[in-house]
Amino acid sequence: MKNAILLHGKPGKEEYYDPQFPSASNYHWFPWLQKQLIVNDIKADTPEVPLAYDPQWELWVKEVERYEFTPETILVGHSCGGGFWTRYLSERKDLRVGKVVLVAPSLGYSGWGDKFFEDFTMDTELVSRTGGITIFNSDNDDEGIQRAVKEIRQKIPGIEYREFHLGHFTANDMQTSEFPELLDECLR
């Protein structure tokens, strides 16, 4: 049975602790995408990383390793979650997964990722161990995201690229919680 792991990004500390905001894994398009994958007979999990506002590599690894990875596993990561999948898969050269979609992947260039992405070398052969990697980038996202997208595309050949004009792919930027283009990419 196919499965998917949908990984959120780094929320702000105020958002993380605000009881009025949903948790990071239950915000933006995550609940919608999870449900759409489930109705397509794909078990979809949305891990909730503890203290996600202050990314600590070991906590993120511990959280995602609770889930099963197979050559059919679909991985989706938004922002820091996309950067996480890039590093995680680069460091686990024996791991084979299915489709990988990096939505506005961050490598911490906005000033918070010094430790999270330190001593990290992207695997230039990464695409060959997946069912394909696609980056969703928005031409009006911030400079740090643009820098990360450019670096990932330069260092990892064979990545597919899709460009949008949707800010940082958040509910506020998109004015919706639905993301049909992402669902289509996951199912492709």
Report helix, strand or coil for 159.
coil
Write out pLDDT tens, residues 136-162: 999 999 999 999 999 999 999 999 999
| Structure confidence at residue 42 as a pLDDT band (50, 70, 90) | very high
| Domain locations in the chain as residue ranges | 3-187
Is the pLDDT confidence value at 113 over 70?
A: no
Gap between the Cα atoms of 31 and 20, Å rounded? 17
Does the reported pTM lie above 0.75? Answer: yes
Q: Is the pLDDT of residue 105 over 70?
A: yes
Single-letter code of the amino acid located at 7: L
Pick among 1.10.357.10, 3.40.50.1820, 3.30.1600.10, 3.40.50.300: CATH of 3-187: 3.40.50.1820
Can you tell me the mean pLDDT for 128-136? 98
Characterize the bridge pairing of strands 74-78 and 3-7. parallel
**Sign of the four-CA dihedral 44, 84, 32, 179:** negative
Q: Mean pLDDT for the chain?
A: 96
Report the distance separating Cα 48 and Cα 6, nearest Å.
10
